[in-house]
Amino acid sequence: MIRGIRGAITVKQDTKEEIKQATLELFERILIENKLSRDDVSCVFITATSDLSSVFPAEAIREKEDFRYIPVICAQEIEVKGAMPRCIRMLVLASTPIPPEEIHHIYLREAQNLRQDLIGKRGKS
């Protein structure tokens, strides 16, 4: 079964290094918490808020040798007044037998405030 696994993370500054580090941190936590390997991952969708423009977050995943051939795409998050700034959101599509209610969606740093309904059951990630 292909499942969608959500996550988000914030950064303090719009720098290439910080964006890439945060993207990898989020991606790796999604893989670990859901016991996924490279072969389980079908593709990764990433959005970033308009205040992040130093680098495509997808670069961080593409630079990992094991994930070089996994499709990864970036897009700009729509601008909504009052939305969380400097935020990277991720959707990983992966093959897993885990039922939807047991998927570990990962929200880190300030992004923990985005989906309390998803992280409240297992505590904050």
Catalytic residue positions?
A: 6, 62, 74, 77, 89, 107, 115
Q: Tell me phi and psi for residue 7, to 5 degrees.
A: -170, 165
Q: CA nearest 6: which of 85, 49, 33?
A: 33
Residues 98-121: b if buried by 16+ CB within 10 A, e if exposed? eeeeebbbbbbbbbbebeeebbee
